[in-house]
Structure 1
Amino acid sequence: MLDQSATDAFVEFERVQKSYDGETLVVKDLNLSMPKGEFLTMLGPSGSGKTTCLMMLAGFETATHGDIRLAGKPINNIPPHKRGIGMVFQNYALFPHMTVAENLAFPLEVRGMNASEREKKIKRALDMVQMGAFGGRRPAQLSGGQQQRVALARALVFEPELVLMDEPLGALDKQLREHMQFEITRLAHELGITTVYVTHDQTEALTMSDRVAVFDDGRIQQLAPPDELYEAPQNSFVAQFIGENNTLEGVVAELKDDIAIVKLDGSDAVIEAKAVNVSKVGDRTRVSIRPERVETNPERLQSNAHTLQAEVLEFIYMGDIYRTRLRVAGNENFVVKTRNAPDVARMTPGQTVQIGWLPEDCRALDA
């Protein structure tokens, strides 16, 4: 992983706030630092503040309070075109009356580069995105995926140290989107470009990023590498927003070091969970457990596993996995994912089964 200490921070937000009306804060006291070469994704639902942060970094919005620094220098009062930042938007923002090569030449002309140097850089950028043969075409003659490659090449052509991407793959179909995710990540790492990527697509964030900042209500709820976000969410919002997640509600009956003993609602069951976001006995909690961590084969349950009775409500064959919806402790949307394998039995609605999981795989979070 990249070193993220503040001393070598390349991008910094310090106590940044943003309000459009002078009353409501859409970004609340944001502190964030990124080292050079990191690929950081800002992830969150609509209205969570992620795009506003990107636009303040680009210079299209001004922070109401706080400082934004690039390579140690404050940039709050520097206009967008003087920040030397590459931008890629969802709608491509290509000039329709210009050819692909002319679109790429534009940022170079603005920087006063001579014709032969421009030509070299345009060729290199188009080759990087496998669009070398398309320099003479206009955007209307290209598919959506090709236009997005050109938009990416234009952001990279002047070799910026920082590239910002706002939902750049939102308009593409699933297969092309997945292909472009790998292309963008590969290019960013090969070229050593610092990248800030905004999306509301959690799969995109998990597959592309060095770290992910999960936004909600104008604040970063958790900032961590993808595997840590998924395996160790710090609160209920992150647990629910990242991947599929089961929750069982209850009350903390006992706290022992970092273990919470939880009495589940609608059941006599008592389970153990990591005490992540509870502080005292009597606290309401949501216990979080991932669908793939739940075992449905009694023979494979370990001796220290929790076991609960469950009723099968729905069994769906999905090719590589089975997805089973169960009623567990009053929750009718408890999902289990099991791999499609000879030793995994198919279940039928109405069947009663015993399920189980290890205490270390569940987390007692805020209610």
Structure 2
Amino acid sequence: MLKTADGVTGSGHVCFDNVQKSYDGETLVVKNLNLDIARGEFLTMLGPSGSGKTTCLMMLAGFESATFGEIRLDGQRIDNVAPHKRGIGMVFQNYALFPHMTVAENLAFPLRVRKMGKADVEARVQRALDMVELSDFGARMPAQLSGGQQQRVAVARALVFEPELVLMDEPLGALDKNLREQMQYEIKHIHDQLGVTVVYVTHDQTEALTMSNRIAVFNDGVVQQLASPPALYERPENAFVAAFIGENNKLMGKVEAIDGDTCKVVLDNGDKVTALRVNVGAVGDRTTLSLRPERVVIAPEGSADLDNVFEAEVRELIYLGDHIRTRVKVCGNDEFIVKVPNSSHSPDLARGAKVRIGWITQDCRALDA
């Protein structure tokens, strides 16, 4: 058994080997996917609509077939195995509960299909209800439950027959914000408790960052980057990932000089910035500079510890409790965001004020144009 960099013990539980998918024989919605998922890992497929993430999940579930390549579970090809014979738990956005069955009957259904004895069925159903904190709800009908309770039942039903792999397709999309956040933690705690492998599909970046061991960011049928949440947020490898994961300031320019792992960039307005060289080729190349709003400092006069300092004009101030979202005009960009912590040391800001802002080289990533 191997241990991944994220601490997940695994042995290639799920493997996509050069998988392609086309619906019309011409356009590939999934392009040459090679992806190994460790046993016990919580892997999220994240991306915008049409990026290929849900298609990958449906191929793994058996509801779609790959046009080319192999999908393996525990080293065995499952391309031609019927969905109900794959032993995979599924949770959908619309819950998919049987409305004419009680909660307990819904949970018992996958067990009875597997010809389990009555006593074993009852014990597993009660254990599943306890796990999702619905011990006293077994006799209720789905229509008598709230959306959050129905989703708990859907999660319990996917886990009641103790599968080694559970697939979740936008399972929290129908819930309101507070309930969705609560369910994120609950699903993550259940995963930690049971140690099952979870493949989760969402377009919600916060959900992915909160729950996952690793995230595969999809765009145009290709995994743009596969990494842990901190690595993905702190060290995006291209401009798409930087823009899709979290809030991000973009500055466009041309590489003027390269010095080891840093480069000097002339912005389109003529300002010059020193940045970390991540995904640029040569002098003269166009580049997108990526800079997180919380890494920008509104610098007091005389501050000498920032590599890049510019004069900015405050355009908008939005109070958000723990920080003040400050929009400024700087380096030719009228939509540049600075997150100013709300503390006793925060500077006094006013719309129209001229301020100096700055950041260190290592926080500014030079990416593809």
Q: Normalised by the size of structure 1, how large is the TM-score?
A: 0.97
Q: Which amino acid aligns with 1:364?
A: A
2:160 is aligned with 1:133: no
Match of 1:58 in 2: 61
Partner residue of 2:111 out of 108, 111, 123: 108
Q: Which amino acid aligns with 2:244?
A: F
Cα distance, 1:328 vs. partner? 1.1
Structure 2 stretches lacking a partner, 5+ long: none
CA-to-partner distance for each residue in 1:75-129, whole Å, 9 max, x for gaps?
A: 0000000000000000000000011111111101111111111000000001100
2:238 is aligned with 1:235: yes
Q: Normalised by the size of structure 2, how large is the TM-score?
A: 0.97
Partner residue of 1:223 out of 222, 226, 238: 226
Cα distance, 1:303 vs. partner? 2.5
Q: What is the SS of the residue equivalent to 1:260?
A: strand
Paired residues for 1:40-51 under 5 Å: 40-51=43-54
Say whether the 8 Å CA contact 2:10–2:39 is kept in structure 1: no
Match of 1:284 in 2: 286
Q: What is the SS of the residue equivalent to 2:13?
A: strand
Structure 1 stretches lacking a partner, 5+ long: none
Match of 1:38 in 2: 41
Partner residue of 2:88 out of 82, 85, 88: 85
Paired residues for 1:1-367 under 5 Å: 2-3=3-4, 8-267=11-270, 269-298=271-300, 301-367=303-369
Say whether the 8 Å CA contact 2:88–2:167 is kept in structure 1: yes
Distance 1:280 1:52, change over 3 A: same
Distance 1:85 1:273, change over 3 A: same
Q: What is the SS of the residue equivalent to 1:212?
A: strand
Q: What is the SS of the residue equivalent to 1:207?
A: helix
CA-to-partner distance for each residue in 1:213-257, whole Å, 9 max, x for gaps?
A: 000000000000000000000000000000000011110001111
Say whether the 8 Å CA contact 1:301–1:356 is kept in structure 2: no
The CA distance in 2 between the partners of 1:34 and 1:128, in whole Å, is 25
Percent identical residues: 63
Cα distance, 1:305 vs. partner? 2.3
Say whether the 8 Å CA contact 2:9–2:40 is kept in structure 1: no
Please provide the CA RMSD for this pair.
1.5
Q: Would you say how many aligned residue pairs link Structure 1 and Structure 2? A: 366
Distance 1:300 1:127, change over 3 A: farther
Say whether the 8 Å CA contact 1:252–1:280 is kept in structure 2: yes
